[in-house]
Structure 1
């Protein structure tokens, strides 16, 4: 920093998350006195991160931080120090406001690069053996968040690849979902690649256009577009056992063509195929009707009688946006969502915060660490089931009941003037049983508007002019909007995939998708999935974390093929089965696995096929590198024979 703007610094200090800045100052000054007991945070559950430190001490901290930063700039902004392992763990515990378990230290250091590594990207993939890399050609399906990440890593590893994308641009879900109010519900300072921080997020939880710009920018910075075939989809993949390649049929604007790939990596997501409700007469409605993921921007809702079917994540965001322009809004609710109090959900990031992120070394990493810990494994205990729980079915353990009471009270206060509404918006299922949403009050405020009706009677029929509920009430509408989610359990649908012996993957799964570590399946060599079965997270973090873990593991698999000279790899059936037994046992002990809970987390067999039931550190350790003993590796000479 050539010159320090003291006015900007003062503004930044007012906006600072002080524990994160204290840790950055330890590295800036080489002095651990910043970790003073009187500055140690005591966080309030479900708050925006208030530290609980008295204002006088906060002011004292700001004064000392101002002097230290000024001195650092005057000394020419020397490189920050690298703390030893003991100090690093002490810094982590200070920022977290709780003792960080020893087994987390290396995990957090790797994920957040806060130990002074020379590279800003600790997960950078080393090149695969040159000769082997030249023989590989990898097909990546999807150019959303995970597909772009895969392309970056393959390029770094020296592996030839091609990405096919059904849409006309990159971005995946952030390209397709353009409904009013669409935004991320993980803080952007963790919903971003670990190696591509953005120090200028305009809001804490950014909107769809901002997120799309971020991923487009990443694609441009890494020159990925030249490796992407847009408006191209995969119809069928067949494993050629003789030549050890996937033969892939592509549908393009010009017709169908076939390509071959050493390996296929699917990056198609779980929530990409809209699901419409199975209700009688749905096709009869004569007015405009559309799914929220396929928003009709050509339909002007002004002055219209609008029906919204579903109260999940999308409706939670778009209903408050449209309520002020429609004549009437009827919201059909099957089960209410839990909304976690998040007062800053729509707030801008203060300019001073952006200044700190950009100018103070390691502050961005420590702030990301704070967010990462507070919304990841720190929340797991609140949704874990106690097999000996003696309470009612609205909770699964004593901590879960306390969690429920806090969130329910926040909802009840918002609807205090509408007891009839309070009864409808507070769920009766355990917190964590279904996807929880972020709530800053706009949802219930919208439902309280005089032109809104919240209907909880089951919807039985769609007519030419409206809808009928189980109590016989008929309502007329001009427009119907479906906020009814996606075919989440139909992994890799509608692609046809045939592995060894012509086995069909979807027939093999039989409606119950399973994979080892969510990525590989016996009988389907060199096929790797990102965001596959049981890699969804409910309360603990950003899905980008899981994608980065998965891609590192997959690159490790390709490296294993190169180093061993094998042409194909697939998990051993006993390894695959043991993993899935462990996952099923884990999910049964979580709120979303409770027998009284129904949600899209469970497939048609009633099994939780979506969620990871363990800590993030467990997935991180399991995916650092593949264990050759877990796989059947087929050598070239065996193929030839």
Structure 2
């Protein structure tokens, strides 16, 4: 462990704030008034104002007439939460005076907030949104004592000598969250990771151009609020390093067994234990027993390849985006990229200038959200503020998080009686037209491409990609060809499309996604009375809150069925809220000296009925939309259709009446 990490851990332990990146002191401000004016003029005002109010304890800065109004999200985001020019000018005047005070009084630290102070800040920064959001938002800001997700109990205090242990499968971000909370609760646990390191998708995906497509500050744990991100949408290597730091700072590395692949888990009704079978690091089969099993294997783990005749006949190099071979040099090669989703959107611009020819095979063109700063470094003002203004980084993270809580959900709700083709509501149609206009401008010199890249599905039916213009630029290059004819077969020379054309290539890249609807594959999970999980699901995965399944006592799934999101919410929130529900379940099992909790079938049926009804009212649930969000039965098994607040409420308590209590 490095000295800096040791210092960080010591510092955090001295405080009640549950944040692995907590800092006691920030650099003192020494810059002159002119410099501070530039900082104020180039900073996002809502985050700046609350950071200044918190450090100076002058909450009169948060004037009611200066609340950011936050109108519904538009195609191009409104700066400063939609504050008017007049509001901005007044806010900057207040901010400059407060920043001078921070400098002159050498305010280099700030402690946790009281609940009352947090309430005042939340009322201001959310424009007096429903106060029901406040507990959830206090959890995610993690700056109020006792309001984070940290367990308030300890295993030793409630176990009374009882042996109890938990197996966590996977050490991606879900597994890390589970391990960290289990460690805080003092519950013995072991994490099994089939790879050689932690980080999940962020060590597996090393393809050219890999990076985030969600704002980086919001893509982080509430208990690990890194504040010095170099870019708004960081490269994959930066996120991987973050996961490594979290594992180290969180003290969970010692409980992770790397190069160990779990193959099956079987519930023993007599003992109430799970027999977990695995192949250990030496290649030997091993079986161990645990009271509970937490699956953190993730959804985007098993690459999906197209079912095309002759695929293995191709004589050149072929690789999936998630299994990139970094020894392959694409320079001067004829490269085919199959797919136009998120990974293709990043790979194509990264390699287009290196290859001799680039042929992109498109089945469905994506809608793209204008994001001009997608590749940009973090502004100088942000980099300065996170060093000089206490908790500015945490407030920037919170502001980005809050803007995404409901995000663009209003654009995807179906309007009753709406029958205009290609949309589900008036606002949805407006977005479609706006995004179409942007495409028309980008491809005004290439009408042949415009016809191909204009999507034919409803806006919001699939996750939109971030667009800073590089996709259009890449497709318009002379060495690029966009093919929309379907693939008929592959040959040793290349790819034959349904129009009979042979596209000769040296390398085929599959940007074709993952087997996302096949949850927990290829694990063999056997529950009560020999019930096989995959046979029970029959290809239609369902779980209460994505977490628990009837007939599988003490089996918990993190980011399970219907916990994904398209236009709102946060992966990290869904993970953390779900983990906290799991910890509460374990507390009840231990405290009541139960063997296990087994979800009742009728509880799941009622829950899923509500999910299906809600998903049917969304763009992604429209019968015309075909996407990996739907399983082979056409049911949406991936997406959470309700407000994020609903998931928060469901995961706050465990209703024992929902479960059979196995003693």
Could you state the TM-score of these two structures normalised by the residue count of structure 1?
0.94
CA distance in 1, matches of 2:256, 2:37: 46
Stretch deviating more after TM superposition (348-357 or 231-240): 348-357
| 1:493 match | 521
Pairing partner for 1:455 from 477, 483, 507: 483
Q: Which aligned pairs between 1:558-569 and structure 2 lie closer than 5 A?
A: 558-569=586-597
Q: How far is the alpha carbon of 1:59 from its aligned partner?
A: 5.4
Pairing partner for 2:92 from 62, 66, 80: 62
Verify the 8 A CA contact 2:112 2:145 in the aligned structure 1.
Answer: no
| 1:256 and 2:285 correspond | yes
Q: How far is the alpha carbon of 1:63 from its aligned partner?
A: 4.2
Tell me the SS of whatever aligns to 2:79.
coil
CA distance in 1, matches of 2:444, 2:70: 30
Verify the 8 A CA contact 2:66 2:91 in the aligned structure 1.
Answer: no
| 2:14 match | none
Pairing partner for 1:613 from 624, 635, 641: 641
| 2:575 match | 547
Over 3 Å counting, the alpha-carbon distance change for 1:289 and 1:355 in structure 2 is same
Verify the 8 A CA contact 2:549 2:599 in the aligned structure 1.
Answer: yes
Verify the 8 A CA contact 2:167 2:293 in the aligned structure 1.
Answer: yes
Tell me the SS of whatever aligns to 1:163.
strand
- CA deviation vs aligned residue, 1:525-574 (integer Å, no higher than 9, x gap): 00000010110111113211110011111001000101211111111111
CA distance in 2, matches of 1:547, 1:591: 24
Stretch deviating more after TM superposition (188-197 or 4-13): 4-13
Q: How far is the alpha carbon of 1:53 from its aligned partner?
A: 4.9
CA distance in 1, matches of 2:113, 2:259: 47
Q: How far is the alpha carbon of 1:35 from its aligned partner?
A: 2.6
Q: Which aligned pairs between 1:191-590 and structure 2 lie closer than 5 A?
A: 191-252=219-280, 253-392=282-421, 394-590=422-618
CA distance in 1, matches of 2:287, 2:534: 21
Pairing partner for 1:126 from 140, 148, 152: 152
CA distance in 2, matches of 1:183, 1:572: 41
CA distance in 2, matches of 1:462, 1:293: 21
Q: How far is the alpha carbon of 1:20 from its aligned partner?
A: 1.8
Tell me the SS of whatever aligns to 2:286.
strand
| 1:47 and 2:76 correspond | yes
- CA deviation vs aligned residue, 1:289-312 (integer Å, no higher than 9, x gap): 111111121211111111111111
Verify the 8 A CA contact 2:47 2:392 in the aligned structure 1.
Answer: yes
| 1:146 match | 174
Q: How far is the alpha carbon of 1:376 from its aligned partner?
A: 2.9
| 1:638 match | none
Verify the 8 A CA contact 2:415 2:424 in the aligned structure 1.
Answer: yes
CA RMSD of superposed structures (Å):
2.1
| 2:52 match | 25
| 1:5 match | 30
Stretch deviating more after TM superposition (229-238 or 14-23): 14-23
| 2:4 match | none
Over 3 Å counting, the alpha-carbon distance change for 1:373 and 1:2 in structure 2 is closer
Q: How far is the alpha carbon of 1:9 from its aligned partner?
A: 4.2
Pairing partner for 2:137 from 90, 108, 121: 108
CA distance in 1, matches of 2:580, 2:521: 24
CA distance in 2, matches of 1:5, 1:622: 48
Tell me the SS of whatever aligns to 2:595.
strand
Q: How far is the alpha carbon of 1:585 from its aligned partner?
A: 0.8
Q: How far is the alpha carbon of 1:625 from its aligned partner?
A: 2.2
| 1:626 and 2:651 correspond | no
Over 3 Å counting, the alpha-carbon distance change for 1:592 and 1:39 in structure 2 is closer
Over 3 Å counting, the alpha-carbon distance change for 1:563 and 1:541 in structure 2 is same
CA distance in 2, matches of 1:106, 1:254: 47
Stretch deviating more after TM superposition (264-273 or 297-306): 297-306
Tell me the SS of whatever aligns to 1:162.
strand
Q: How far is the alpha carbon of 1:36 from its aligned partner?
A: 5.5
Q: How far is the alpha carbon of 1:164 from its aligned partner?
A: 0.4
CA distance in 2, matches of 1:532, 1:235: 18
- CA deviation vs aligned residue, 1:170-192 (integer Å, no higher than 9, x gap): 00000000000101111111101
Verify the 8 A CA contact 1:16 1:352 in the aligned structure 2.
Answer: yes
CA distance in 2, matches of 1:3, 1:436: 41
Over 3 Å counting, the alpha-carbon distance change for 1:38 and 1:528 in structure 2 is closer
| 1:117 and 2:144 correspond | yes
Tell me the SS of whatever aligns to 2:462.
coil
CA distance in 2, matches of 1:95, 1:404: 30
Verify the 8 A CA contact 1:177 1:292 in the aligned structure 2.
Answer: yes
Unaligned regions of 5+ residues in structure 1, if any? Answer: 636-641
Tell me the SS of whatever aligns to 1:427.
coil
